[in-house]
Copies of this chain bind each other. A is one copy, B any other.
Amino acid sequence: MARAVRIKDIAEALGLSTATVSRAISTPGRVAEPTRSLVQAKAAEMNYRPNVQARSLRTQKSMSIIMAVRDIGNPFYLEVFKGAEAAAHDANYTVLMGNTENNPSREAEYFEMLRDGNADGMILMTGSIPDGWKGPNGSVVVALEMIEDGGFSQVVIDNAAAAQKAVDHLVAQGHRRIAHIAGPEGEGMSARRKAGFVAAMAAHGLTLPPGYLQPGDFGVDSGREATRALLALDTPPTAIFAANDEMAFGVLHEAQHQGLRIPDDLSVIGMDDIHLSRAVFPPLTTISQPRQDIGRHAMEMLLSQLGGTDDPQETLLPTTLIERATVARPRNEGTQP
């Protein structure tokens, strides 16, 4: 393994001091013209790559941002990551993903990294902060899952408006008996989607019979179970809005298993527009979130806070309804339950 080239090597090759070389590379403004381009040319020629460890040891800045997520195995976060990384890259920051797996001690670990200077900032997508955290909130931006009263900047999507879009679309097709399968109890995101659904139904003057609000946990199986319950009702719904796509897959599965035809016998709308939503049969009508935008916005906010000291801001990102093949007019339209 050829030894990595250092500033010292360039300096010697050019008969300059390491200080000048360092300046020519990291603060080109502070060095005279002929020297500057000379150094930069030589550095490129020798294939010089700064030693980030040494640099951050000296500057006391790690130039890295932690993105803490619940489950690194969820492709959704990867899209957010891509957006965040693109924004960070331009500012020479590195993004590393931290996996908390809903484990408070792992979460605390990442906050420690922040405090110890192993990371300069954090994009928090876990929906919770360690007890007693009272660091400089400017180094944290909360995304996706809101945290109330923390004084953090936040980037979230408009969950209530998204639910409303789903209901509006269904109602426009003539549906009046619409049910909802909610996400995990106690999560703000699920609560907002549910509340948005309830509000939208009320706005259309539609009633919500008992059992039309099913609990779920964002997993396929819970979508299946909820559907079983829904279809066993005396007057089952003609349409179901699931709080995420995986539960919507459960709906498709169970309905087809019971011999119903989608969308003729039952309309379905999901939420998230995950990769496979267009691959299932029939292709799922769903609501898409601007995943990369979430990451990009959060990173831009964080970077700007890291510079000056902006006041905490809140960004609400819009969603889009993707019409595919799981929504049709109901068979017996207009029948109020």
Which A residues form the contact surface with B (CB < 8 A)?
1-2, 4, 47, 49, 51-54, 56-57, 62, 72-75, 78-79, 81-82, 96, 112, 115-118, 135-136, 139, 220, 246, 249-250, 252-253, 256-257, 276, 278-281, 283
Contact A1 B57 (CB under 8 A): no
Chain B residues near A115 (CB-CB < 8 A): 1-2, 4
A1 touches B135 (CB 8 A): yes
CA distance A56 to B51 in the complex (A): 11
Chain B residue with Cβ nearest A248: B279
Distance A51 CA – B52 CA, assembled complex (angstroms): 14
Given contacts A2-B115, A220-B279, A276-B276, 15 further A-B contacts (CB under 8 A): A1-B135, A1-B136, A4-B116, A52-B118, A53-B54, A72-B78, A96-B96, A220-B276, A246-B279, A249-B276, A249-B280, A253-B279, A253-B280, A276-B280, A280-B280
How far is A74 from B276 in the complex, measured between Cα atoms in Å?
A: 12
A139 to chain B: which residues have CB within 8 Å?
1
A57 contacts B49, CB within 8 Å?
no
Enumerate chain B residues within 8 angstroms of A79, measured Cβ to Cβ. Answer: 73
Q: Determine whether the beta carbon of B49 is less than 8 Å from that of A112.
A: yes
Chain B's closest residue to A224 (CB) is: B279
| Shortest Cβ gap from A268 to chain B (Å) | 12
Interface pairs (23), CB distance under 8 Å = A1-B117, A1-B135, A1-B136, A1-B139, A2-B115, A4-B116, A47-B112, A49-B116, A53-B56, A53-B62, A73-B75, A74-B75, A78-B78, A220-B278, A249-B276, A249-B280, A250-B279, A253-B279, A253-B280, A253-B281, A256-B281, A276-B276, A280-B281
Q: Which residues of the partner chain B approach A57 to less than 8 Å between Cβ atoms?
A: 51, 53-54, 57
Residue of B nearest to A257 (CB): B281
Bound CA–CA A183/B34 (angstroms): 54
Nearest-neighbour CB distance to chain B for A179, whole angstroms, equals 20
Chain B positions within 8 Å of A281 at CB level: 252-253, 256-257, 280-281
**Chain B neighbourhood of A278, CB < 8 A:** 220
Nearest CB on B from A235, distance (A)? 25
Contacts of A81 in B (CB 8 A): 72
Closest to A277 in B: B276
- Residue of A47, A73, A256 most packed against chain B (CB within 10 A): A73
